[in-house]
Each structure stands twice: as structure tokens, then as C-alpha cells.
Structure 1
Amino acid sequence: MVKLPSLRSCYDTYVRDISIVFLLLLPLTICNAISLFSGHFLNFAEQGELAKRFFYFSDLLIGVYPTALCIITTYYLSSKHNTSPMVVIPYALVMFTGISIANDLVAPHNGLPNNPLIALLTALIASSWCVAFRVFPLDPSRIDFVSALYKQSAHFFGFLLLTVFFNQVVGSIILESDVISGNLTLNPLTISGGLFYQFILGLLGSIGINGHNFLFRAKQQLYEDTKNNLDAWEMGEAPLNILGQGFYDAFLAIGGSGSTMSLLLCILIFSKDKRHITLALSALPLVMFNINELLLFGLPIIFNPTLIAPFVLVPMISFVVVYGVMALGLVNPVSAIVDWMTPPLISGYLATNNSIGGVILQVLVIAIGVMVYRPFYLHYAGKSNIDARAMIRRHALEKSTLTSFLGEVNQSMGGHVNRHEVSQRVGKMMTRGSFVMYYQPQVNLKDPSDVAYESLVRYRTDDGQIVPPMFIKDFHQVGAIKQLDELVIDLVLQDLKRLPLSAGCRVGVNISAESVSDPDIVDYIAERLYHYGVSPTSLELEVTEEAILEDHVQIRQNIEILQGLGVKVAIDDFGAGYASFPHLLKFNFDKVKLDRSLLLNATEERGQNLYQLLAKISEVTGCALVAEGIETEKDVAFVESCGIDICQGFYFAKPMPLEDAVGWASNKSVLESVKHA
């Protein structure tokens, strides 16, 4: 039974992933904040033209951010699941761009997609699609390039249909949200309306959506009503409202949306995480001007289930506190709309008509915010009542910071270069030289006429040199192992015609995890047996324990169908380190091949006892047993004493070309010598 991951494990994985993605985007975020700050500073210094240039760069970075988020997220998710980002990123960009343009989710001034939530969702969908239905980078040098091209085209067309579906879903959601927004009557000048207004702003901001754009009409109306009230108050025609634009800007967004000045101080006071402290110190100069992107994306806050709660809650608590204090007349009501980049304390002083009470009130609000953020932050940071094991988990999370991720990126990039080199090697092998089969006998000590072999693939270069099967891992790495398996099956079936099939000769073929779990492998083997006119009883498939850790249901079905055709199925490398015995209960194997490592450990009594115990498997399962790795006469004597009759190893013969294998089988003197060994 597969053990499902715990909620804690899923949460840790999610936080790690979202942190890594946003950490990589920090340079872009920091540059945007600096550009914005520089523009406002230059405006203050009456350098308007130069300020426009910095505002242009800020707008550009803001416009590029969602697309960069889509690319980085796709890159990370695909790399994490061993899928080539070169394949997945175009899928994600097509879906992201298509959905954004079709639903007018683009910036009006540059036409770039501008919704980070859609960026994340499309990255997730594209990565999931390409992991579930794997395709690999096209390589023109591969022999199967044309078929791979058509396969990938069909794969991409299926994804386009999925894009159309999600486009309709997003369109419907946007239509409903527009209806809701249009029918949403918010009045930020009332207590209930103001709390709800602040709640919506915080909730949308916590998932990367600009709430002020969503509530544009309410925001615009708030500004106009505030200006009218201030003008009327200055002329003595109306009392000064407590609630207004200045109230929200000066007291509910101290340090930026979510009152993140409180979070920053919470980190500096209570955190023991060096990375978080460094991040807070780096963000401090920007947060002082209410620019909080560094904290939003560095911790991160957005899309973080733990920190979203205080991010939304703190401004609402501040609303109640500030309104109550002003309503009681303890602090002057806000009588000015200050620029949103005015530093905290200064903004409180100016907003309350140069009153020190406004400064004290901001300090109170910040302090309350620190205490509200504290339990949530400590829970997120893993510092609240943790034991030694939790500390170990925390240490593992710390390794997922920017430094380690950059190392992962470098390693991954190096891996892509390496895979390209591997792909080149594999392509060269498929177009030059040739693959040949070598055969190693499996000797029956009691019946020398029983002839069986294990086939082993080799590569012959153009100049005739034989290369050992180290190249198999290359085929695995570039996703071409099934092509190699099919090629090997063809070569073996061709060679079988020259072996003494009439004497009941059988040949075993090693098959990979990808092939043995492929629903099409049965039809392929049946068709090739018919094509070459070879009896299924002459073929054995050798499946490793590692392979059957994959899809139990499909593998069992494939094994049963093949056995129904007459093909024998063996489990190879039995006892090499996986869950051996449960496999014998789940699958009806015809043969069990005991791994060489078991024999090496039989030099001591415990190893001998284990080997003797394993030798009794045949009595329980009815499987034939093969002792692998026989290299000495002592090995022969030991396995024979254990009741094992079939042996394979260098003592009898090394893997040999077909011609030598044919000669070995027909050499009666060899067989007789084996009989008396």
C-alpha cells in the first residue's frame, strides 16, 4: 500500500517550492523597488525628465514580472520532476499568453500579460501535462526523429485543446468576478464598508492581484469623497470625517500593504533564521518608503498559507484601533492625504495636522501588528515549540534558500549540457557502428542438454572495437531506453534462428522498467515473434526488481499475457537490495536469478545460511532458480549443495558472440565436462 505524504510534508514542500521560485525573482523585484524609489526621489528633487526614465524602468519590470514568474516556475517544476524545461517552458508560455490575451489580462501600456496568478497556474498545468505525458527534446540526429516529431506535435495539439478549455474556464471566472465587482457596493467611509474594503484589498494582494485595480471604482470614489470632505472642512462647511483616503494610506499600510513594517520588525526581534534576518535588513530601506516587494516575494508572503492570515488581519485590527482612538478624540483625525511613499511616523505626523499623537498612534499600530504577526511567523519559520527532529527538518529547509537553489540551478544547467552531450552520443551510436548481442550460458548441472543463455547487448564501433554496455545509462538519460529494448529484442530474435531451438534452447532478454510497464510491449513482442517465426517458448524476459517498483497493475497484466503466449518471465538480480519477497507474492515468475552479491556474502556462516534459505524459494513458488556470478569450483560446489542446479558465470563461460555461442552449444565435450564439474 502506497503511503500518502502527510499534510505537514505537503506544506513543507509547498513552502519550499514557492520560496525558491520567488527567491530567484528577487533581483527583478529589488530593481523595480529601487527604480520606483529613485523616480519619486528625483520628482522631489524637481528632476522630472530623469524621474520619468526610472518610472519607465519600473513599469517595464512590473510588466515583465508575470512572464518571468511563469518561466521560472515552469523551469523549477519541470526540473524537479526530471522533465526537460526546454520542452515545458514553450507549453507554459503559449497557455499563459493565450489565456491572458483572450481575456484581456494584459497591461494597457505595453500589452504584456500582467496576472501573476494566471502565470503560476499555467506553469503548474503545463508542468503537470508534460510530466503525465512525457515528451523529450527533439534531436535531429536520432534515428526516430520523424516519429518523435509527429508524436510531440500530437502532444502539443492535445495541450492546445487543454488551453482552449482553461481559457473558457478563466473567461467564465472573470465574467463572474466582473459581475461581483460591479454589484459590490463598498463604502470605505463607513465602518463595515471600510473593514470589508480592507479585507478584499488584503486578500487579493496575498495572491498577487492588485486589489486597487479590482476595486478601482471604490478607490476612485474614496479619493473624490475625501477631497470633497477636506475642502468642505477647510471652508468650515462640514465636520472632518475620520475615514478617508489619508486614513487608509497613513495607518493601514505602514511599510506597504499588509502593514509589513510590523512583520519586518517581528523578524528582526524574534527570528533566529539568519536568512530571514538578512532579508529583513535588506528590505528595511525600502519598507521605510512603503515598498514591500522584497518581503512579499522574499519570504514569501503571497501564496503562503501561514502568512496570508496576518497579512489580511493586521490592517483590519489597525482599522479598529485607529478608528477607536480618533473617535474618542485621543488623536486628531486625518486632515491630509500624504504621498503613499512618505515614511512611517513622518506620515502619521503630517496626516494628523502635525500632531505627535499621530506618530504615537502609528507606533502603537506597528507594535500591535508585531504581536499579531509573531505566532504566525514563528510557526512559518519553524521556531515555535520545536523539538530536535523539527530542528533537523528546519535545517533541511534552510538548505532550500537562495544559495542552495542557485547551486541547484547551476547543477541543472550543467545537467542540460551533459544531457545534450549524451544525446549526441546516443544519436551517433544509432546512426554509426552497430549493436551486437553477446550470450552467456546458463548451465544445468544435472542436465547438460538443457541449453539457455542470457543475452547482453554490446556496441561495435566503425573500426570493429566492442564497447561494453556502459552506454545503457545514456539511453536511460535521454529517454530512448524503450527504443534500445526493442532493438535488442529484434537482434535476439534474429539470432535465435541460428541457435538449437529444436533442442529447447531459450534466450533471456533484459528489459527496462519503462518497457515492462508499457501497455504496448506485449503487442510488440507478439508481432516480432510472428515476424521472425520464433516460438514464444524460446524467449525469456528478465525483469529487475527495480523495474517492478513502478506500475504493479500494468506490469502484472503484461507478465500474465506474455506467459499466456508461452514467453517465460524471470526476476533478475533477486536480493540486490529491493523488497524482494513481496514481489514473489505479487507476480507469478517462472524463474528467479539470485544476485551475485548474495554469493559474495556466502563466505561467512550468516551469508551461507541466507543463501541456503533463498534456495528453498523454488519449493514455495515453483520457480526455477539460477545462481549468478559463479566464478570458482568452490562456488559450484556450494550452490549445488544448496540444491540449485542452474548456474551462470565466468567459471563456465564469459559472454560471447553468437558464433561462439552456437559452437559452445554444439560442443558435446564441453557439455560433458560441465556434467562432471
Structure 2
Amino acid sequence: MPMFKAMSHLSANKYLVAVSNVFLMALPLVLISTFCELIAITCEYFKFNDFGKIAQEVGQATRVIIPLLINFYLATYLSAVKRIPKSAAIATSLTVFFIISYQWNLISPLIPLPNSFLVSLLSAYVSCEVIARLKNIRIFRLKSNQSFIDISMSMLAGSIVTILAALSISFLFRKVFEQVSSFFSWSLIPRLDPTSFFDGLIYEVLRGLLWSIGINGHNILHTYKVELYNITRTNITEWHNYGVDLNILSTNFYDFFTGIGGSGNMLSLVICMLLFAKSKGYKILAKSAFILCVFNVNEPILYGIPVIFNPIMIIPFLVVPAVSFVIAYGAIYFGVVPPLSEIHSWLMPPFISGYMVTGGAISGVILQILIVLTGIVIYMPFFKLMDKRSLGIGVSDILSNRLFTSDEIESKTRLTSFIPSLHNNLISQRKIEKLQNSGEFILYFQPQVNIENSRIVGCEVLLRFKNNKDEILPPTFIDDFNQLGLMPELDFWVLDKAIKSAERFIVVNPDFVISINISPSTVLSKNFVNIVKKRIIESTLSFHHIELEFTEELLIRDEKKITEIITELQYLGISVALDDFGTGYSSLAYLSRFEFNKVKIDRSLVLNLDTQRGRELFKIAVQLGKIIDADIVVEGVEQQPELDFIASLGVRYIQGFYFYKPMAEDVLFQRGLLTSQKGEVVDN
């Protein structure tokens, strides 16, 4: 259906999914707050007032902290996506959140802390967006050769500018709001009639809309509910004393017919999850929330699916109570179910409540069962879409501190705490500074040989470090660059150097191809294809002289975007290779989803060629590459028997110590390898 397709695309938006996940991460605090409130109500019932008061205050204080936590989580996520300093993003976001909240008086009456979920999210988005844009201005730009003090000053300057900008914008909007308010009378807004069918339906929809953006609809529409409660008490008293007709709408009408299990008739959704969920996480969540839903507490589901800020689940969350309202109203209006003649606590479990409030009528219970079943039918397709897309995160993972993922929801980088991350950044910064003072980065090249004619057809570019003692060291520093978010800078440096080398190579061998490894963060960076295109156009190379190698780590991130990038590169004439084929669990799946010009079989498969099983697996890997019509390169070939077996399978290209070890650019020329027609077995 077009509607579900549109919702599916919308729900896959990395920012909307991030919002859903940060609410999910707040679930433990929500559970603590909810249980404290239940304990307080129970203590009040049994007259344990002192302990009940403490539990209530703990629950309320915990709930006030949730918007701050959400702001922190979202700022952390966005700092990874936009590749900005995490410490600056968090500090600035929280500061802006406090400033705007105090400007607009969006402060909790219990504890003087900001309590608006909407402002919490917006302040994180705006702060990180401004900081990201400031990076394009020279004075705010962070450079790898800067000292830690210089970087700190640049971060501080960016944070101050962002805070001032947010303060100014908020102040401007506040003034405009005040001016509009002076010309607009709030008395012109129609007052909802608590006894009217249409006004009651409007109230129910408004309550759901407020909940869907993280605002407790009961609190905002408290005046309506208080007025309805007073009207209900008076009506029931007059019914007992004078026999007047009972109103259809009463204070318990919403509690027991449109809020079964909490707002949105959450009991229907919980049962739907128990019956149809395939995700283990959703099953656990449903089992955990069921007992609370029996007492009409729905926060674990609101935050755990989540429903809040979830474009898929908001629709049934609004539709189910509205349909329930119409069914219950009609049942009472046509006399199928007697009107509610008693007032009970909203915590009374379903079915018991239907029996009690209708004066012991079984029809009240049947009506609630019908409403729950109707809700299950409405919730089912929407929840199945959620379950299929696996947008939620398992509650068991949350409780074991496996938090949400960074960059895109599909990626595997976990959100770490602020202090350890800052510590790791400092260590990486020191290591890189030490490298810069003790040597230089250089490129080495490992030839790829066509074993049919023994001709070198190209080289893979390998990054190395040459220290002041002329020792060549492997790239153990890659993790430090990745920790600091500097991989794009490093990759583009390698690209530039490789292009300059290739300009020399093609003079001798016009068909020579340079193969360059590109990290996932670089491929997903803004304007990646255009940057590569520009660098090649500005050189003497043609696009077919360049080959880019992608690993499986990249492919698990954003399938749609990666497909577009690969297509654009291949359209230009740049070859795209799948590197380290056979090392991941999903290599076969990626061969079916992406179009690769070349597949590089990892050495790990070569090492097992001395066993029958290893040879069979290797044959399968080669056959898979042939099925997708890709060239096959086998890496790590060192022995003659390995070469003989690989050649017998029709594989043409070899890269390994059997022919050549990685070597410097000048060595390639000195040994005449660019023009040789016959591969040398000199490095074996």
C-alpha cells in the first residue's frame, strides 16, 4: 500500500529513528518513575503516607530528568553523524536547552529544570547543526596539526557563537509571540463541552497528539478533566436522589473505554505484541509492560516501541482511542450498555472496571473486550511493519547497557559515555601528534599480477609510517584517526598522493590501475563522489585508472545511499571492488545487493587450501564472484601449490608475497616492474 510505503521510508529517516531510539534509551528511567508512582498510590491506599510521599517525590524527580537525558543522548548521536566534537555538542546543546526553557518558562514546577521534550530535541538538533556549519569557517575549523589547546579554543568559540545564536533566535520568537498574543484573545478559542460527543472526540484526539510528542495530555487538558469530574459527581448524585438520566460521557468513560491499558488503549498493542512479535526485544517488552498495562500505565510502551515521535505508530495510537470512543458512546447511546453509574480509580484493571462502573453489567465487560479486539486489529499492520523493519531496540540490550547506534541506526558504533570518550580522544590526539613529530606517512604499493600473461596490471595502495630511523611501520595509527573522526582527512590525503603516483605510472603503462582503500566514514561523508571526481579531473588520469575498495563494514550502514554512491562511481568509469570477501557473515548477501566490478578474496580462505573443506569453500567463493560477472583477485598467495590450485579455477589475478611484497614507488621504477611482461618470483 502507498501509505505503508511512505511510512516505511519516513520511519527509515536516520534522524526520526534517532529520536525514537533516544526515547527508548530513556526507558529505564521511565520504568523507575512509573514504579515509584505505583508504590506511592499503593502506600496511600494502605495509609503508609510517609513512605508513599518519598516514593512519589523520587518518581517525580526521575521523570523531570528524562528530557535532560534525551538532550544528552541526541547531541551525542548527532555529534557522530555530523563529525563534530562530542564534548562541544553536548555542552552546547544542554546550555541552549536551559536558556530557551527559562526564556519561555518551560520549567518543571517540582524541580527547577527544563521539562519540554520538544525543546530538548530541537535544542540538540539546532546546536549540532550550527556547530557543523561553523566548521566550514576557517577560524572554527579543526585541523589535525593543531595542538589540544588550539582545538579546545576553536571548540569553545564555536559553542559560544552557537549559544548566542540560539539565544537571539529564541528572544526574537518570544517577542513576536508576545506581540501576536497582545492582539489575540485566548477567549476566542472555543471551550470544549465535557458532555458533547464531538467535543469529547476532539479531547481524545488532542490528548493522543500531545502524548505522541512526549507531552502528558492529561496535564495539558487537566481543566477539561476536572470539569468533567465535577459534572460526573453531580450527575450521579442527582441520578441517585432524583432519578435524572445519567450522562454518557463521564470521567471514567475515558479511563475504562478509550484508555484501556493507558492512553491509546495500550492493552491492545501489548496483546498484539505478545501474539505476533517476531523480535525477541518486543516480546520481552510486552511481557514486562503487561502487568503495568493491567493498571492502565502505558509509559513503558510509549517509550519502548516507541510510540513517541514514531511516524508509524502515531497513526494507530490516535485512531484506536477515537474508534473506541465512537463504539463505547454508541453502545451506551443505544442502550446496549448501561451508562456509567459509579466513579472508580483509573488504576482499576480492565474488565473488572467495565463490570463495576456499569453497576454490575456483563455488557460493560463485553464492550471492553470488543474494544480491545478492535484495537488489536488496528494496531496489527502498523506493529508488524515496525517488527519487520526492526526499528526498535531490545529491552534486554538496554538493560545490559548496549545503547543505541551511531551515525546511522544500522551502523555498529555504540554510544559511549562522555568521560571515557574524551579520555580516548586525548590519547589518540597525543599519539597522532607524536607520529607527526617522529616521521612521516608514505605510500607503499603491492602489485596485482595477471597470471595468464605474468603482467602487472595494477597496485593496491597501502599506507605506511616511516619514522626518523627510516623504519617502515604498519598503519597501527588508523584507530586513532578513526577515534578522532579524521578518517576522511586521512583517506583524501592518500587519494591525492596515490593520484600523483599514478600520473607517473601511466606514462610507462597507460592501462595501469591504482586500487585505493576507502573507510566507511569517508564514503558516507558529504559530497564524497564529487570530491573524488574533482581530484581525478584535475589530474592527468582517466576515471578507469582508479579503483576504490569498500569493505563489508561500509555495506551494513545505509544500503540505499551506498547503492547510489557505487552507481555514481561506476557511471563515471571508476571501478568498485569488494575487499576482504569471505571474512564477514553477510558477504553473500552483499554480492546479491550491490554491483561490484571486482571481488577480492581474503587471504583467510587461502590459508585453508591444504584441506578438502577449505578448497571446496574457496571454489564456492570463486564461483560466486563469477556469477556476478566480477573480476576476481586473490590476496595473500605465497606458495606454489596455492597458485596452482587458484589458477586451475580460472582465476586471473593474484596479489601476494609469491610475486611481490609491498614496495615504495621508486622501487617499482627501479625494478622496471611497470613495463615487465613477466612476473618475478623474487619475493617468495
Superposed pair shares fold, TM > 0.5: yes
Query: Which structure 2 residues correspond to residues 102-113 of structure 1 after superposition, within 5 A?
Result: 102-113=103-114
Larger Rg: 1
In structure 1, runs of 5+ residues without a counterpart are: 383-389, 445-451, 530-535, 561-568, 585-591, 618-625
Q: Which one of the candidate residues 249, 260, 265 is aligned to 2:265?
A: 260
Q: For the Cα contact (< 8 Å) 1:286–1:292, is it kept in 2?
A: yes
Q: Identify the residue that residue 208 of structure 2 maps to in structure 1.
A: 202
Q: Could you tell me which residue of structure 1 aligns to residue 472 of structure 2? A: 466
Secondary structure at 1:429 match in 2: helix
Q: In the alignment, which residue of structure 1 is the partner of 2:375?
A: 373
Q: Trace 1:349-364 onto structure 2 (pairs within 5 A).
A: 357-358=359-360, 360-364=362-366
8 Å Cα contact 1:250/1:338 also seen in 2: no
Q: In structure 2, give the amino acid aligned to 1:325.
A: G
Q: CA deviation at 1:43?
A: 2.1
Q: Is the 8 A contact 1:202 1:312 kept in 2?
A: no
- Tell me, yes or no, if the aligned pair for 1:264 and 1:284 is still in contact at 8 Å: no
Q: What amino acid is aligned across from residue 197 of structure 2 in structure 1?
A: I
> Which aligned pairs between 1:284-303 and structure 2 lie closer than 5 A?
284-302=290-308, 303=310
CA RMSD of aligned residues (A): 6.6
Q: What is aligned with 2:324?
A: 314
CA contact (8 A) 2:439 2:466 kept: yes
- Alpha-carbon contact 1:20-1:401 (below 8 Å) kept: no
**Contact 2:98–2:114 (Cα < 8 Å) also in 1:** yes
Instruction: State how far apart, in whole Å, the 2-side matches of 1:285 and 1:256 are.
Output: 9
When residues 627 and 430 of structure 1 are mapped into structure 2, their CA distance, relative to the original with a 3 A threshold, is same
What does 1:351-430 align with in structure 2 at a 5 Å threshold?
Answer: 357-358=359-360, 360-382=362-384, 397=390, 400-404=393-397, 406=400, 408-409=402-403, 412=414, 420=425, 425-430=431-436
Structure 2 CA distance for aligned equivalents of residues 456 and 656 of structure 1: 9
Deviation (angstroms), 1:478? 3.9
Q: Which residue of 2 aligns with 1:32?
A: 33
Q: Tell whether the 8 Å contact from 1:252 to 1:258 is kept in structure 2 after alignment.
A: no
The percentage of aligned residue pairs carrying the same residue is 23
Task: Assess, with a 3 A threshold, how the Cα gap between structure 1 residues 339 and 596 changes in structure 2: closer, same or farther.
Answer: closer
In 1, Cα distance between the equivalents of 2:28 and 2:433? 39
Matches within 5 A, 1:132-171: 143-145=145-147, 146=150, 150=154, 153-154=157-158, 157=161, 161=165
CA distance in 2, matches of 1:364, 1:261: 18
Aligned equivalents of 1:181, 1:78: Cα separation in 2: 44
What whole-Å deviation, never above 9, does each CA across 1:628-671 have from its counterpart, x for those lacking one? 99999999xxx9xxxx9xx99978875545776786579xxx99
String of CA shifts for 1:530-564, please: whole Å, max 9, x gaps: xxxxxx79xx984526599776899899x99xxxx
Question: Distance between the aligned counterparts of 1:350 and 1:431, measured in 2?
Answer: 80
Deviation per CA, 1:371-423: give whole Å up to 9, x if none: 211212332343xxxxxxx9xx9577399422356575397257997975666
Query: 5 Å matches for 1:155-554?
Result: 157=161, 161=165, 183-227=189-233, 229=235, 239=244, 241-243=246-248, 245-248=250-253, 251-252=256-257, 255-258=260-263, 260=265, 262-263=267-268, 266-267=271-272, 270-271=275-276, 278-302=284-308, 303=310, 304=313, 305-325=315-335, 330=338, 333-334=341-342, 337-344=343-350, 357-358=359-360, 360-382=362-384, 397=390, 400-404=393-397, 406=400, 408-409=402-403, 412=414, 420=425, 425-438=431-444, 457-461=463-467, 464-469=470-475, 471-472=477-478, 475=481, 478-484=484-490, 512=518, 514=522, 517=528, 542-544=546-548, 546=550
Moved more, 93-102 or 71-80: 71-80
1:166-200 CA distance string (max 9 Å, x none): 88779989979x97786032111233333333332
Displacement of 1:37 in angstroms is 1.8
**Paired amino acid for 1:378:** M
SS in 2 for 1:434: strand
For the residue of structure 2 that corresponds to 1:409, the secondary structure is coil
Helix, strand or coil at the partner of 1:325: coil
SS of 2:414 mapped into structure 1: helix
Counterparts of 2:569 and 2:155 in 1: how far apart (Å)? 24
The aligned amino acid for 2:394 is: T
8 Å CA contact retained: 2:351, 2:368: no
**Count of aligned pairs between the two proteins:** 612
> Does 2:54 match 1:53?
yes
Whole-Å separation in 2 of the counterparts to 1:379 and 1:494 = 56
Quick one: distance in 2 between partners of 1:582 and 1:288?
52
Comparing 404-413 with 285-294, which one deviates more in the overlay? 404-413
Q: Matched residue of 1:198: which SS?
A: helix
Contact preservation (8 Å) 2:580, 2:601: yes
Alpha-carbon separation, structure 1, partners of 2:545 and 2:484: 23
Cα separation, partners in 2 of 1:48 and 1:286, compared to 1, 3 Å: same
Q: Note closer, same or farther for the CA distance 1:485–1:234 as it changes in structure 2 (3 Å cut).
A: closer
Native 8 Å contact 1:434 1:460 kept in 2:
yes
Q: Tell me, in whole angstroms, the C-alpha distance in 1 between the residues paired with 2:97 and 2:317.
A: 27
Instruction: Please give the secondary structure, in 2, of the residue aligned with 1:188.
Output: coil
Give the partner amino acid of 1:291: V
Q: 1:631 to 1:107 in 2, by over 3 A?
A: closer
Q: What is the CA deviation profile of residues 151-174 of structure 1, one whole-angstrom value per residue up to 9, with x for unaligned ones?
A: 895588469747865887799899
Summarize deviations over 1:39-61 as a string: whole Å, max 9, x none: 22222233333322122112112
* TM-score for the superposition, normalised by structure 1: 0.64
- Contact 1:203-1:312 within 8 A present in 2 as well: no
Question: Corresponding residue for 2:612?
Answer: none
Q: Give, in angstroms, the shift of residue 308 of structure 1.
A: 3.4
* Residue pair 1:195, 1:319 contacting (<8 A) in 2 also: no
The C-alpha deviation readout for 1:602-631, integer Å capped at 9, x for no partner, is: x99xx99x99xx99x9xxxxxxxx999999
Question: Hey, what's the Cα distance between the residues in 2 that align with 1:398 and 1:629?
Answer: 39
Give, in whole Å, the separation in 1 of the partners of 2:294 and 2:316: 24
Distance 1:489 1:131, change over 3 A: closer
Residues 212-221 or 71-80, more deviating: 71-80
Other-structure match for 1:10: 9
- Partners of 2:640 and 2:287 in 1: how far apart? 72
The answer as to whether partners of 1:79 and 1:412 remain within 8 angstroms in 2 is no
1:60-88 deviation per Cα after TM superposition (whole angstroms, max 9, x unaligned):
12212222333345556766899886565
After superposition, the C-alpha distances for 1:91-131 in whole angstroms (9 at most, x for unaligned) are 54345444433333322232322233444455566677788
In structure 1, C-alpha distance between the alignment counterparts of 2:74 and 2:116, rounded to whole Å = 14
Partner deviation per Cα, 1:189-229 (whole Å, 9 max, x = no partner)? 23333333333223333443222333344334334444555
Distance, in Å, in 2 between the alignment partners of 1:519 and 1:544 is: 14
Please tell me whether the aligned partners of residues 66 and 116 of structure 1 are also in contact (alpha carbons under 8 angstroms): yes
